[in-house]
Amino acid sequence: MTTPGHNLVVVHPLVLLSAVDHYSRVTSQTPNQRVVGVLLGSTYKGRVEVTNSYAVPFEEDTKNSAIWFLDHNYHETMWAMMRKVNANEKILGWYSTGPKIRTADLDIHELFRRYHSNPIFVIIDVNPSEVGIPTKAYISKEEVTEENKVENRFQHIPSIIGALEAEEVGVEHLLRDVKDTNISTLANRINDKLVSLKSLIARLQDMNTYLKNVINGKVPINNTIMKEIQEMFNLIPNLNDPELTKAFMVKTNDNMVAVYLASLIRSITAMHDLINNKLEFRAAEGLTKDGAKEEKPKNGKDEKGEEKKAGEKDESKSDKK
């Protein structure tokens, strides 16, 4: 369940480009360092439109993530200037290049409650390795633990990439030369399938890790998550059903027959082209089908022609006699 007022987060392309530019500038000096910035936009009927952002100087200890520093003076100065440029945009929350939630993120999140009663936290993955949008949105929610303590925890909410008409034109202009024409559509489809399977494996590993931590008592059980996992298992088909197994086998056999016929036709076509090339090569070299060289007639005349002429001379002599 999502908190009222925050049903969907729409991230615009300008925010993604700003975050990537911020990350590239910072990592050029300090590699493997995440960056943090402020998200601006508006909210209407539970739809959060993140249309703008700006970077904020941020540092943290690589060994201890609980030690961090956010430049508040820089943030206040930038926010004052942004209000002069566009008063309609409000502070909605903050972003980080993660790529995952860290220990100090809840403390940073609480700082932005000064500017918004229920801020959002968006992780922008600048080096995505999975198929899908590179953003994950969260809000904080109070939960009661098993020790009857109230703690703030991040709760995931849906997020999408949205753009205005002018932004779509700009993005298409930037990406017009990105496509590689040397890669076929089939290769792209196969690569998409491969990346999707890798993403599925990663999700299953996360579920496995979570369930193990629940069993070992490291993480408190969450009934909502367990319900979602149970629904996923309920949707899995029963592979022990004979009719379903037969249907899978028939479908697989049909696909394999098509692949076999395609391979056979390709082999026959390649062999046919090879024979034609060999015959053309022999003809160009002046060879017969047996591989022997053809004898050229002397003076451009064949043997039959010479015999015929010799016979004609003999007949002319007999006539004279």
d(CA 111, CA 116) in angstroms, rounded, equals: 10
DSSP letter at 179 equals: S
Query: Residue 262's pLDDT is what?
Result: 92
Residue type, 17: L
Query: How many CB atoms are located within 10 Å of the residue 56 CB?
Result: 19
Query: How many CB atoms are located within 10 Å of the residue 258 CB?
Result: 10
d(CA 285, CA 317) in angstroms, rounded, equals: 44
Token readout for 287 is 């060879």
d(CA 302, CA 296) in angstroms, rounded, equals: 8
Q: Are 22 and 98 in contact (CB under 8 A)?
A: no
d(CA 312, CA 60) in angstroms, rounded, equals: 112
Q: Tell me the backbone φ, ψ of residue 148, rounded to 5 degrees.
A: 60, 35
pLDDT in tens, the chain (321 residues): 344 567 899 999 999 989 999 999 888 777 778 999 999 999 988 899 999 999 999 998 878 878 899 998 999 999 999 999 888 899 999 999 988 888 889 999 999 999 998 999 999 998 877 767 889 999 998 877 767 777 888 988 999 998 887 777 777 766 665 555 555 577 778 887 888 888 888 888 989 999 999 999 888 888 888 898 898 888 888 878 888 888 889 999 999 999 999 999 999 999 999 999 888 888 887 766 555 555 555 554 454 445 445 455 555 544 554
Query: Residue 225's pLDDT is what?
Result: 86
Residue 66: CB partners within 8 Å, gap ≥ 6? Answer: 103, 104
Query: Residue 321's pLDDT is what?
Result: 46
Query: Residue 220's pLDDT is what?
Result: 85
Residue 41, helix vs strand vs coil: strand
Q: Are 94 and 108 in contact (CB under 8 A)?
A: yes
Q: Where are the alpha helices (DSSP H) in the chain?
A: 13-27, 72-85, 105-111, 165-175, 185-216, 223-235, 242-285, 303-320
Residue type, 32: N
Q: Are 113 and 119 in contact (CB under 8 A)?
A: yes
What are the DSSP calls for 281-308, one per residue? HHHHHTB-TTSPBPPPPGGG--HHHHHH
Residue type, 119: P
